Amino acid sequence: MRPLVGVFLDTSDLAEIQKFHSIGIVRGVTTNPTILVKGGMTGGWKAIEQHCQAIAKIIHPLPVSIEVTVNQPQEMLRQAQLFVSWASNINVKIPIHGPQGGLENLRLVHSLERDHDIRVNVTAMMSAQQCLLAAMAGATYVSLFGGRVNNMGYDSRLEVRRLRSLLDMFQLSAKIIVGSTREILNIIEWFEAGADIVTTAPSLLDGMLIHPYSKETVQQFLADGARLHAGSA
Three-state secondary structure call for residue 19: helix
Chain-centre distance for alpha carbon 231: 53
Cα 110 to Cα 142: distance, rounded to the nearest angstrom: 13
Three-state secondary structure call for residue 117: coil
Cα 121 to Cα 222: distance, rounded to the nearest angstrom: 47
Closest CA to 4 of 33, 36, 32, 30: 30
Closest CA to 55 of 93, 76, 33, 28: 28
Cα 71 to Cα 41: distance, rounded to the nearest angstrom: 20
Cα 91 to Cα 87: distance, rounded to the nearest angstrom: 9
93 classed as catalytic: yes
Non-local (6+) Cβ contacts of 152 within 8 A are 126
Find the catalytic residue in 19, 93, 175, 215: 93
Q: Hey, which residues are catalytic here?
A: 93
